Amino acid sequence: MAWDTARTKRLLLEAAVEEFAEHGPLGARVDRVASAAKVNKERIYQYFGGKEQLFTAVLESELAKAAEAVPLPATGDGSADAPAPGDLGDFAGRLYDYHSAHPHLLRLLSWEGLRDGRAPVVAETERAAHYADKAARIAALQLDGAVTADFEPGRLFGAAFALATWWLTMPQLARMALSGADGSPEATRDALVRMVRALTEPGTRAR
């Protein structure tokens, strides 16, 4: 019976997501990954090369899923519920939804940043190109007048991402900051969408 390589890789990646999110790339153990996946540990070295390469594969896979699930609203598709071109508030809201449903990705990125945010990271060239593409799309929206031109495109993307994810990466600070206010996920999402729209809509100038 032929070995199902694709299935084995998928099982290892799924198990590795949880292991790396919980323990980080330094504390993760390949034997726990193999045990959770019910796969011989040697398959990790055979398919990925080692723990570092497995962490790389995990991040690349999870980042690709997020990018596909939450594209920038660069163009409308004609449907009634489609976001307007340049609606970065809607983009931030969908980012919040995605990371709320997939909390492991922000944990993986946080572990990566804790290692040394200034050092080269997993698939940095490809990821830099991905974010450059997002900045280029925002720049095009700025030229079309759909997004404010008061800030660099990369900073606008960063602000939208930060506002969408801070509540999830720093829940203890969010709880204290919102003391006495409605701290429900629904209220948080509504507020961040409105904040990002206020920041990025044309005519709202920085003071």
pLDDT bin (cut points 50, 70, 90) of residue 4 is confident
- The pLDDT of residue 113 is 87
Other CB atoms closer than 10 Å to residue 159's CB: what's the count? Answer: 17
**Which pLDDT tens digit goes with each residue over 149-200?**
999 999 999 999 999 999 999 999 999 998 888 889 999 999 999 999 999 9
CB 56 within 8 A of CB 42: no
Radius of gyration of the chain (CA): 20
- Indicate the length of the chain as a whole number: 207
- The pLDDT of residue 2 is 45
CB 58 within 8 A of CB 13: yes
**Which pLDDT tens digit goes with each residue over 80-118?**
455 676 799 999 999 999 999 999 999 999 998 887 667
- The pLDDT of residue 74 is 61
Query: What is the Cα–Cα distance from 31 to 34, expressed in whole angstroms?
Result: 5
Residues of the chain with pLDDT > 70, as a percent, come to: 90
Q: What angle do CA 172, 177, 181 make, to 5 degrees?
A: 110
3-state secondary structure of 122: coil
